[in-house]
Amino acid sequence: MTIELDGSSLTRSQVIQIACEGSDVSLSPEALVRVRRAADFLAEKVSCGEPVYGVTTGFGSNADKLLGAHRVRDELHGGSAGQRDGTTLLEELQHNLLITHAVCVGEPLAVDVVRAMLAIRINTLLRGHSGIRVSTLEALTALLNRNVIPVIPAKGSVGASGDLAPLSHLAIVLLGGGEAFVDGERVSGAEAIRRVGIEPIRLSFKEGLALNNGTTQMLATAVLALSRIENLLATADLAAAMTLDAFAGRSGALRPEVHALRPHPGQVETARHIRELLEGSTLVDIPYHLVPRFRSWTADAWSDPVEQERRFDIAWDYVPPPQRHGREAFYERYLPFKGGKKHQPQDAYCLRCMPQVHGAVRDAWEQACRIIDIELNSVTDNPLVFPDAENPRYIEDQVISAGHFHGMPLALAMSYVKAAIPVLASISERRLNKLVDPANNDGLPGFLIGNEDGTDSGFMIVQYTAAALVNDLATRAHPASVYSIPTSANAEDHVSMGTNEARHVLDMTDDLGHVLALELYTAAQALEYRQDMLNAARGLADRGDWKALAAKIGNAPREDHASHATFESEIRALMKALTNAGEFHAGVAVRKAHAKIRESIDFMQRDRAMDGDIRSICALVSSNVLIADLS
């Protein structure tokens, strides 16, 4: 697929197609007319001898230096007047800008980041306010379409004047400098362009500035990060739904009339999405008295040979009539059996407040998307060229020095997202912790393992890893954008640090995905226990033998006790309620996701090596397999 770039309509999804799926780009003919007009305008002004920042003057703190017709040193020593290897001072200014600014350090940016940078840079230059020539823009496009990936070390931009250093690494390959990857091989820039048939270019007026002055790295990184976060928000909702099903939790906090009273968009959408994922569940809002609690398996727990294969026993406690005083109304609605569910109408915050927490993160993501969508079709270099300005009196009316290279709009948006990431990870870890804690998991086994021999740790240490990741994310969430360090001898005395911000966010998405994967891994085990325990209780009830079910009840009165007849009547009512309930199962979407997990990760009946399971669940999350086609 080829995507036409025109400077005005590039979308985040198109950037992802170009960056991650290898789509080529073409250049809009209408946009190229604008590009040519601006380049011709600059050439005319230079020929007239008018001073233009970054064209006939130095850059940054050298802006007060006007370029002469020739080099002073050459004149003093009888050298050629303004020529060295056929290069004019104006050309050398642009050339030197790139070769002296390519000073980043660290590991090379990933291929998808660099491809996104190339697409974004081409698109902004197509607006026709940068002064670049069509031929140079076509050469930049050839790099992308022939999959020449400039080597750009990750660190070195302060986010104003744009991403000068990394963009210089990107553009220097067009000159035959630097390094690039071609077919996965790292070679010199000269060798890279030779292999794909691109001739090295000589830069004209302002082309160095046009190529390296803009918010391109931070924007490309932000687009990729926001794409990942969009998928992780869907994954977080899925993990939350599976956990709520595993708890046989309450859905009242998800109801639309509740959120209509506090209609933050992300909150409303999260509640709607989790309701959709839970649709068809017979676990959520289940009556308290139907839910048994886990009891360790024993040899005499089940009488049927098939039942002996179960990995658990189940139990309830009976509430005798004398202990119901003052609670008669409750026991008219619910039978007097205490199992796995506490008699309370609300779940813990990590379950009840999922719309508020996930929704706030979703709102942070939406705000960042709004900023990024504007930036994708903006001009971010300097100075800005307005060849068609009406009634210009001075060159400053048509070549205007401004500050669109300043990355603060993106930096603050990504700071918001950066702070939101550990929040989403934290509530996920709290749900995971609740699942494994026998004091808080509503009747599930401790650490989600039978452990009848006392030898098994189960999912205990999974929570440790999640806790470590959440702590790591929290320590990385400090905003880079609040700490400006002046550059260029204080000519650039306030910078955004937005490139660091976006890079941090992209890196943090990996660990957010890992935390959510660990919750899903744990919730799948818990859900299976919950369903199997409830369906085992239903199987007992289906026998029609109330005494078989009564054998699972603690605190039952003796047969000769006065309340025994009442107990028998109530246990028969429990038996009927279980039989009439039908099969117990999670919501349709949750069941689909659970089945996908079980394709590669088996239920853990006894301790086993878990490292392969962890790799598998993390791969399932990173590939977005679990959230595909869940409607």
List, by residue number, the catalytic residues. 53
Please write down the HEC assignment for all residues of 357-397: HHHHHHHHHHHHHHHHHHHCCCCCCCCEECCCCCCCCCHHH
Residue that is written with structure tokens 């369906």 in the block: 535
Please write down the HEC assignment for all residues of 299-320: CCCCCCCCHHHCCCEEEEEECC
Asked whether 277 and 368 are in contact (CB, 8 A), the reply is no
Asked whether 343 and 288 are in contact (CB, 8 A), the reply is yes
Residue-level length of the chain: 631
Residue 188 bridge partners (DSSP):
179
Which SS3 state, helix, strand or coil, does residue 84 take? Answer: strand
Pairwise CA distance, residues 506 & 273, whole Å = 25
Nearest to 211 by CA among 301, 145, 122, 86: 122
Residue type (1 letter), 238: L
Cβ within 8 Å of residue 406, ≥6 positions away: 159, 160, 161, 162, 494, 495, 496
Pairwise CA distance, residues 565 & 555, whole Å = 15
Cα angle 124, 127, 130 (rounded to 5 degrees) comes to 80
Q: Are strands 384-385 and 24-27 parallel, antiparallel or unpaired?
A: unpaired
For residue 108, what is the enclosing H or E element? strand 105-108
DSSP 550-592: HTTEETPPPTTSTTHHHHHHHHHHHHHHHHHH------HHHHH
The torsion defined by the Cα of 70, 71, 74 and 75, in degrees rounded to 10, comes to 60
Terminal Cα-to-Cα distance of the chain (whole angstroms): 28
Which regions of 459-616 does DSSP assign to beta strands (E)?
553-554
Residue 27 bridge partners (DSSP):
5
Two tokens, residue 619: 């791969």
- Tell me: cis bond preceding 401? Omega within 30 of 0 counts: no
